[in-house]
Structure 1
Amino acid sequence: MHIKMLHQTALLLLLSHLSLALADHPPPISTTVAAGPHPKSISEAANTAKPGCQTKCGNLTVPYPFGIGLNSGCSIGPWFDVNCDNSSSPPKPFIASGNLEIVDISDGQVRIKNWVAARCYTETGNVTRQNPIAINFTGTPYSFSDSNRFTVVGCDDLAVIVGSSGRNFTSGCLSLCSQSSDIIDGFCTGIGCCQVPLPKGLRAFSSALGSLSNHTRIHSFDPCGYAFIGDQERFQFRTSDLQDTGFQNRTIQNVPIVIDWAIGNGTCDEAKTSADFACRENSVCIGSDTGLGGYRCNCSEGYEGNPYLSPGCTDINECESNPCDEHGICTNTPGSYSCACGDGYDGDGRKDGRGCIAVNSGFPVIKFSVGFSVGLLSIFIGVTWLYFGVKKRKLARMREKFFQQNGGLLLKQQSPFSEGGAETAKIFSAEELEKATNNYAEDRILGRGGYGTVYKGILPDPRVVAIKKSRIMDQSQIEQFINEVIILTQVNHRNVVKLLGCCLESEVPLLVYEFISNGTLFHHIHNSSQMSWFAWKDRLRIAAEAAGALAYLHSAASMPIIHRDVKSSNILLDDSYTAKISDFGRLD
């Protein structure tokens, strides 16, 4: 309760601090983000820049409606100006007159260099370095994309993000861990790393970091905490991030912030009535989905180019990609194309349709080929069906042989119920147990010993069972084995492991027991890490339960059963640490 109250107090303090930080808009720290794989950019279209304007700034191609140069007239408006800083090598592009470095411009989105809040500590908890982050796009055509995630990295860190303008938004993220071995690479779920999504339409945010104990308990492997927003596709958490002194710069270099952009703040219908409507010929208007209004332009189907520049998008000559059959004739049309077959051929002429078929040809090559292929396929299917049918019947005969060899007929002759009316063993099929153990997979093995191997199985019920597979079976003892199965399935005591049934369709009979989840008493009393579970009263209770079960087997059962091998490894513990006697009778 004390820790929970501490968490709540820390979060409230951070929320208050961040609200003030958002109002003050602290200046961001200038960093660089390296380009990576991004969605297809509108800069790939023909004639992307406004005629007479510079097309590239460093490694970035700048397409209209963006333009290079402040107040140069090369963009659709001041907020689409790209300030090219030629003092760097290569030159760096920035949005308008601000310090937001552009990484990429695509259709509807801009990627900018990231900012990362950091807070580092000494071993005694003194803060050695800290910087909050805040970005404000109020009054601009930009907002933060919901493809970003707010991320906190650290083992003793919490952060609150407060957003306003466009979308009022407050959220927090708490990341904790006590040792590096608790962390799983690739997972950002609150152990060493946590993430929360951002809403569409967020135009401003502020965030800073706090800590519950200033990293004093985990300083050896995590001296700093970090918080940032960035493209979720570009960040994957690793345990090594906690000790990486270059994590902040590496994130700046590789995880950009995704920004949505739109023209104006009205709907497409409203924009179309305006004299400054940006979409040119052969293009369509697409409304922004951020909830803030505005629109973008795309070329109509069958057209390409820059939809913002006159004379608009131009027709694509689809015939250049040869969409028609080799005997077809392609005709380009505005926004589309058509195919027609030449003389002596019939069909729609399209490669993705019927193509062109020769009329009155001497030998029906196509019909012959289709008929031959269908016949060959039929023969293959028939042979395959016959093969698997024979294999299935052979397997069924083999299982029936094992069933009879292992005393199945004798077991079926016995009464299915004891005198008390309780069910005896169920006879499981080999197929049931193969499915239950995932074909006796290695990861289902519970233990091995001189007697054989024990597997964990999951029945369709879905009950969890333990399946014992013996190494050998003495055929002269089959009748005694069947009698013991019948006797042991009538044993009904809360402190005795229940035999649920058997399978006789395999070379060696399989026994199916109830599954006891907490292992053996031997494991618990000889494992120092588990000692805290067993006070003397618990040990006495387990001893009394085991003694009661043995007394029942030796004296109270309808047919007395002598255990012969009483030891701590044959006493199992269930979910509530109740003792269960196992490995009794000659079956085991």
Structure 2
Amino acid sequence: MLLLLFTLVLFTSSFTPTAMGKIGKPGCRTQCGNLTIQYPFGIDKGCSMDESFDLTCNLTTTPPKLFIGSGNIEIYNISGPEMKISNSIGFRCYNESGYATYELIAWTNLETTPFSFSQKNKFTVIGCDDSALITGRNGIDFTSGCLGLCSKASDVPIGYCSGNGCCQTSIPKGLKFYNVSLGSFNNHEKVHSFNPCGFAFLGEEESFTFGGVPDLSDMDLDVKIDNSLRIVVDWVIGGKRNCTQAMECKGNSFCEDEETGGYRCICNDGYEGNPYLDPGCEDINECEDKSNIRCYGICTNTPGSYNCTCLKGYTGDGKIKDDCRPDAKDSKFPVVLFSVALVFGLLAILSGITGIFLGVRKRKLIRLREKFFEQNGGVFMKQKLKATGASEAVTMFTTEQLRKATDNYSEERIVGRGGYGVVYKGFLPDKRVVAIKKSKLVDGSQSEQFINEVLILTQIIHRNVVKLLGCCLEEEVPVLVYEFISNNTLFYHIHHKPGGMSWLSWENRLRVAAEAAGALAYLHSQATMPIIHRDVKSANILLDENYTTKISDFGASRLVPLDHDQVTTLVQGTLGYLDPEYFHTSQLTDKSDVYSFGMVLAELVTGKKPLCASRNNEEKNLATYFIKSMKENRFFQVVDPRVLREGSLEQLQAIAGLIKRCLDLLGENRPTMREVAMELEGLRKFTTHPWVQQQTSEESRSLMLEVEQSDLYAVPLMSYSTNEWESYSGITEMEFQENEPR
């Protein structure tokens, strides 16, 4: 660690105005106002390493201003491998009637430069009714977002971003371009009195402090941010080249590769200067400035280092204070024997201190684990297990077991990150492969509810629900242990493979949908206590080695008492899948899961993501685009070509009607998950008849021909009631119950 810090300090010092050696090429200006420009950068023609390192000094202003290339991105500070540049702020303001009066889009492009945005920056959204997406590229496309919500001024904190009025999120390393788009849910009509505008921007995290309500009320906040907050950028040499191809590093320096591509030259220890210009880095005479070294004798400079010896007539180590002593040539004192005894004595003392320290540390660790166990509801769980005689229902894992299973929670064992924790792949001593989830902090006052929910989830036995095997309560946060599902998520199979996976046929899509719907119906109506998942999405639908569906991630789930049909909760879920009615009322019902499942069905049928900033405005939100396409009889334009090729006209009409009802804005108009599951099972049963398969093939060919010839569709989409569907599909609720997996 000390060596790393020393290297970083040395690297920074090699690019400061006080560094030894050359700053720029001969005859080249190295000053623009109060900023010093050092090679490989240059402000005159031929003074930089290549055109990508060209800078422009505008002398018409007082003081002069420095810009990247010939563009309008201003440089405010240069410090070693970093620069601070001007900001770009996106904002949208509304009047009291909800109409947008001012709007500005934020973006910055560094793709033709050696710069990339530093991870010291955070993407920030300020507003009580605002959502924002940041899209960009760092070798691959990147999309993230943030949501600022609050209903009254008294809920807004000052000094930090908590999500109430201010939200922040990180960016990936190596990002060279970004674009920001702002949105609003109610156009600030409900919060206009203290928050008329929403703002989104990228900037240095350490330099930004949220001012609370005064910031929300300030319509000129963009000017304040633009004057005070900068974007930090990093720079490298070589673009896609690495150190093996580098020729720029001069004498007394070495090359260091950057993980995102390119490299930098760094002066060796004991040298400083500009490693990109001949003769390279020059030796530091440490003896001239003893404030940075330790020498209590005679200092002698050496290349890259120094020697320190005691004065004549003294022996010892001149780098250690008071270690130089008069020569003892005539002394009869047994120096060797004394030294050996001293060493062994010190070793004995050190061993004793180490033993005491380890013992104290072990006792503290045991007490800490006992504290976490009690804090996380372990005592309550033991009482419940003893009272119900169900001690075998939940496996209580120890900290040592799970740390060993995950190689001490190694980064290499991470298989997923979500809003409710991090999931690791683990190997138990009995050879079982498990998924180990470290949850977020649990409120101590809710530990009893958490334990009750764990006990109920361990009793869920359904072939399409990921089995909860047990938990560990000895960590600061509860750790849950699930069976491991090996074949990735449905989201991955739909979106991450060009053209889809070979197994993802229409028949298999129907099977996966029917299995997932049956599992959710089981949770809603047949579990010991009804369970609302609250975060149904294709990323939480797993597939095992046989492509069997498994519903997972109950981190946001809520148990519903048998005498209640709805629960008031803090809104949680995933944008794109979140039930609009639940978002606006905070009233959670089983119909909220139905809406989210409708979005999963829309994904399966269309092959499109629920939200995608790269699509045009009409298609960004899949739900609204899907419903609009149905109303305009353009449904078959949004269907995945393979689904259109393999599914029959009646099947596509039926599932389109089912999706439309699931996505109804009023929960009471949506079907139940049991009704959804029955309809999907009916569609599956319908595909098994031989005459249907023959008819399907003929209709698909006809439908594909029609799609190729015309963009207009006059075929009305059908919508079935439960009774009509039973008549059409030949499956009844009784048959559904008989065929449902237990």
Match of 2:179 among 206, 212, 220: 206
For residues 193 and 142 of structure 1, what CA distance do their matches in structure 2 show? 28
Cross-structure match for 1:140: 113
What is the TM-score with the length of structure 2 in the denominator?
0.41
For residues 95 and 105 of structure 1, what CA distance do their matches in structure 2 show? 12
What do residues 313-353 of structure 1 show as CA deviations (whole Å, max 9, x unaligned)?
Answer: 00001112334544x2111110001111122211011146x
What is the TM-score with the length of structure 1 in the denominator?
0.52
Cross-structure match for 1:177: 150
More strand by share: 1
For residues 192 and 139 of structure 2, what CA distance do their matches in structure 1 show? 40
**Kindly tell me: are residues 164 and 266 of structure 1, through their superposed partners in 2, closer, same or farther at Cα, counting changes over 3 Å?**
closer
Q: Which runs of 5+ in 1 are unaligned?
A: 1-38, 365-457, 463-588
For residues 167 and 357 of structure 1, what CA distance do their matches in structure 2 show? 65
Match of 1:55 among 23, 30, 48: 30
Give aligned pairs, total.
Answer: 321
Q: In structure 2, the residue corresponding to 1:68 is in which secondary structure?
A: coil
Match of 1:345 among 314, 339, 344: 314
For residues 343 and 264 of structure 1, what CA distance do their matches in structure 2 show? 53
For residues 94 and 239 of structure 2, what CA distance do their matches in structure 1 show? 45
Cross-structure match for 1:355: 323
What do residues 71-124 of structure 1 show as CA deviations (whole Å, max 9, x unaligned)?
Answer: x11111111111111121111111011111111223222211111111111111
What do residues 266-291 of structure 1 show as CA deviations (whole Å, max 9, x unaligned)?
Answer: 4544224xxxx2111001111113x2
Q: In structure 2, the residue corresponding to 1:42 is in which secondary structure?
A: coil
More RCO (CA 8 Å, sep 6+): 1
Cross-structure match for 2:638: none
**Kindly tell me: are residues 257 and 359 of structure 1, through their superposed partners in 2, closer, same or farther at Cα, counting changes over 3 Å?**
same
**Kindly tell me: are residues 40 and 241 of structure 1, through their superposed partners in 2, closer, same or farther at Cα, counting changes over 3 Å?**
farther
Cross-structure match for 1:317: 285
Q: Is residue 284 of structure 1 aligned with residue 224 of structure 2?
A: no
The one-letter code sitting in structure 1 at the alignment partner of 2:244 is E
1:559-578 equivalent positions in 2, closer than 5 A: none
What do residues 465-524 of structure 1 show as CA deviations (whole Å, max 9, x unaligned)?
Answer: xxxxxxxxxxxxxxxxxxxxxxxxxxxxxxxxxxxxxxxxxxxxxxxxxxxxxxxxxxxx
The one-letter code sitting in structure 2 at the alignment partner of 1:342 is L
**Kindly tell me: are residues 82 and 269 of structure 1, through their superposed partners in 2, closer, same or farther at Cα, counting changes over 3 Å?**
closer
Match of 2:64 among 65, 86, 91: 91
Q: Is residue 258 of structure 1 aligned with residue 267 of structure 2?
A: no
For residues 263 and 256 of structure 1, what CA distance do their matches in structure 2 show? 23
For residues 41 and 153 of structure 1, what CA distance do their matches in structure 2 show? 39
- The answer (yes or no) to whether the contact 1:287–1:295 under 8 Å persists in 2 is yes
Match of 1:302 among 264, 270, 287: 270
Q: Is residue 249 of structure 1 aligned with residue 223 of structure 2?
A: yes
- The answer (yes or no) to whether the contact 2:52–2:112 under 8 Å persists in 1 is no
How far off its partner does 1:50 sit? 2.2
**Kindly tell me: are residues 318 and 40 of structure 1, through their superposed partners in 2, closer, same or farther at Cα, counting changes over 3 Å?**
closer
- The answer (yes or no) to whether the contact 1:324–1:355 under 8 Å persists in 2 is no
- The answer (yes or no) to whether the contact 1:145–1:259 under 8 Å persists in 2 is yes
- The answer (yes or no) to whether the contact 2:243–2:257 under 8 Å persists in 1 is no
* Identity percentage of aligned residues: 48
For residues 295 and 117 of structure 2, what CA distance do their matches in structure 1 show? 48
Match of 2:245 among 265, 271, 274: 271
Q: In structure 2, the residue corresponding to 1:102 is in which secondary structure?
A: strand
- Work out which of the two has the higher radius of gyration on C-alpha atoms and give 1 or 2: 1
The one-letter code sitting in structure 1 at the alignment partner of 2:228 is N
Cross-structure match for 1:150: 123
The one-letter code sitting in structure 2 at the alignment partner of 1:347 is G
Cross-structure match for 2:101: 128
Cross-structure match for 1:64: 39
Q: In structure 1, the residue corresponding to 2:55 is in which secondary structure?
A: strand
More helix by share: 2
Cross-structure match for 1:336: 305
For residues 77 and 234 of structure 1, what CA distance do their matches in structure 2 show? 32
Match of 1:114 among 79, 87, 91: 87
**Kindly tell me: are residues 149 and 325 of structure 1, through their superposed partners in 2, closer, same or farther at Cα, counting changes over 3 Å?**
closer
How far off its partner does 1:242 sit? 1.0
What do residues 184-203 of structure 1 show as CA deviations (whole Å, max 9, x unaligned)?
Answer: 11221211000110001212
- The answer (yes or no) to whether the contact 2:138–2:173 under 8 Å persists in 1 is no
How far off its partner does 1:40 sit? 6.3
How far off its partner does 1:165 sit? 5.1
**Kindly tell me: are residues 299 and 195 of structure 1, through their superposed partners in 2, closer, same or farther at Cα, counting changes over 3 Å?**
same
The one-letter code sitting in structure 2 at the alignment partner of 1:197 is S
**Kindly tell me: are residues 324 and 105 of structure 1, through their superposed partners in 2, closer, same or farther at Cα, counting changes over 3 Å?**
closer
For residues 167 and 145 of structure 1, what CA distance do their matches in structure 2 show? 17
Q: In structure 1, the residue corresponding to 2:163 is in which secondary structure?
A: coil
Q: In structure 2, the residue corresponding to 1:43 is in which secondary structure?
A: coil
What do residues 337-375 of structure 1 show as CA deviations (whole Å, max 9, x unaligned)?
Answer: 1111122211011146x631233599x9xxxxxxxxxxx
For residues 40 and 205 of structure 1, what CA distance do their matches in structure 2 show? 31
For residues 279 and 239 of structure 2, what CA distance do their matches in structure 1 show? 24
How far off its partner does 1:41 sit? 8.0
For residues 342 and 113 of structure 1, what CA distance do their matches in structure 2 show? 56
